[in-house]
Amino acid sequence: MAETVVFARPQALAPVPTHYCPGCTHGVIHRLVAEVVDELGLAHRTVGIAPVGCSVLAYNYFSTDFQEAAHGRAPAVATGVKRARPDLIVFAYQGDGDLASIGMAEIVHCANRGEKITVVFVNNAIYGMTGGQMAPTTLPGQVTTTCPLGRDVSQVGYPIRVAELLATLRTPAFVARAAVHTPLHAVTAKEMLRRAFRYQAEGTCFSLVEVLSTCPTNWGMPPVEATEWVEKNMVPYYPLGVFKTPDGLDRAPRPAPATEG
């Protein structure tokens, strides 16, 4: 009987183990990106931009060419690559400290210029690699090593909703938020990523998919609890969906729950 392959490693994913902690969903997100790149037939002309943060070594985990960016500057580096070689498919892979704190200027202006790149923005509401400090995305009351009594919004403000913020820009773009804490969510996340890469391949617009992720290590909970924490605490503050499409038919974001903060 002939064997049929029903599951295999995507070609765009390197055949190596990752250093990610048990229960961290970076690995899932890497895989979804690689599947999309493969399925759209883009791998041979794709260049990734790695960030500073837990996914700093992303260049080891994809079998595409890569450039490693300084902290927060991936959108600027991606701009340089894309402007030098518009025929390439350029994606930046960034965490929330990288993109929403030190790199806020770069992401806003990259989106506003309408650079034809794709940003995969992984939001786990904390600084992972440096050991669990407060991020711009840390939830109100969430305990981290630099807000040991919980995030006090009267002192440090509210967590930044990046997808919503970028969706306010006039320049056409595709901006969405997804999650990967259940298989069904992961399937939806892949569709968002597929749309994002397709828009780039067609030369349509800037695209960004924010993906809610886990950090069991720095959240201080087992992996299963961490996925439940995403559903219970992150999804209500960071609603999932498409916030902006290039044709202007923006889906109105769901209103934030009244209980926030």
Partner 1 sequence: MAKKLMKGCEAIGEAAIKAGCKLFFGYPITPQNEIPEYMAHRLPQVGGTFVQAESEVAASNMIYGAAGSGERVFTSSSSPGISLMQEGISYIAGSELPVVIVNIMRAGPGLGGILPSQSDYFQATKGGGHGDYRLLVLAPWSVQEAADLMQDAFDLADYYRNPVMVLGDGLIGQMMEPVEFKAERTPCKPLPPKAWVATGCSGDRPTNIINSLFLDPEVLERHNQKLKAKYDLMVRDEVRCASYGTDRPYEVLVVAYGTVARVCSTALDDLREDGVGAALFRPITLFPFPYAELRAAAENARAVLVVELSTGQMIEDVRLALEGSRPIHFLGRQGGMLISPEAVSERVSAISAGLPEEVRHG
The residue ranges that bind partner 1 (CB under 8 A) are 11, 14, 43-47, 49, 56-57, 59, 62-70, 73, 76-85, 88-89, 105-106, 108-109, 113
CB of 34 to partner 1, least distance (A): 13
Q: Residue 110 or 215: which CB sits closer to partner 1?
A: 110
CA distances, 141 to each of 150, 155, 159, 244 (Å): 4, 12, 11, 29
Distance CA 143, CA 150 (A): 4
Task: Measure the CA–CA gap between 83 and 170, rounded to whole angstroms.
Answer: 21
State the minimum distance, in angstroms, from the CB of residue 104 to partner 1. Answer: 10
- 3-state DSSP assignment of residue 154: helix
Of the pair 83, 254, the CB lying nearest partner 1 is at 83
> What is the smallest separation between the CB atom of 86 and partner 1, expressed in angstroms?
9
| Distance (Å, whole) CA 206 – CA 174 | 6
Complex with partner 1: residue 113 or 198, whichever CB lies closer = 113
Nearest-CA neighbor of 124 among 243, 216, 19, 224? 216
Quote the least distance from Cβ 65 to partner 1, whole Å: 4
Helix (H) or strand (E) holding 78: helix 74-84
Q: C-beta of 30: minimal distance to partner 1 in Å?
A: 14
Q: Looking at beta carbons only, is 85 or 251 nearer to partner 1?
A: 85
> Residues near 28 by Cβ (< 8 Å), separated by ≥ 6?
180, 186
Tokens for 208, please give them.
Answer: 């960004």
Using the minimum distance from each CB to partner 1, give the nearer residue, 37 or 178: 37
